[in-house]
Amino acid sequence: GAGVSQTPSNKVTEKGKYVELRCDPISGHTALYWYRQSLGQGPEFLIYFQGTGAADDSGLPNDRFFAVRPEGSVSTLKIQRTERGDSAVYLCASSGSLGTYNEQFFGPGTRLTVL
């Protein structure tokens, strides 16, 4: 079966531009997560969706970052006025049931480079 997919795989943009990163979770998974992995670091939690709503967005670094999941499936991470420090691999993950420890299945990530 299909795993988590993310597009684009690579994105190069200029400082100040707006970018959108897309995540297609595993079909039927209700939970969706975004993480950011900077060079030499482990993934860092950004936001968690349960269905259509953002249950926890405490990891978003500032108000330039926003994510949506309007129909409870595909999610888009949006970054406004990009800065060089936003350069990282953005990972999306999804998991099944609610309220239990569940394996999070990760996509391959989108490598964002801000010049």
Partner 1 sequence: DQQVKQNSPSLSVQEGRISILNCDYTNSMFDYFLWYKKYPAEGPTFLISISSIKDKNEDGRFTVFLNKSAKHLSLHIVPSQPGDSAVYFCAASGSGGSNYKLTFGKGTLLTVNP
Residue 87 CB, shortest distance to partner 1, in Å, is: 17
Whole-number minimum distance, CB 55 to partner 1, in Å? 8
**What tokens appear for 33 in the block?**
């997560």
Residue 113, number of CB atoms within 10 A of its CB: 13
Q: Strands 19-24 and 10-13, how do they pair? A: unpaired
How would you label 51-79 residue by residue, b for 16+ Cβ within 10 Å and e otherwise? eeebeeeeebeeeebebebeeebebebeb
Of 66 and 105, the one with the shorter C-beta distance to partner 1 is 105
In the complex with partner 1, which residue's Cβ is closer, 10 or 80?
10
**Site residues, partner 1 (CB under 8 A):** 4, 31, 33, 35, 40-45, 48, 55-56, 59, 91, 93, 95, 99-101, 103-109
Instruction: Pick the closer one to partner 1 by CB: 27 or 100.
Output: 100
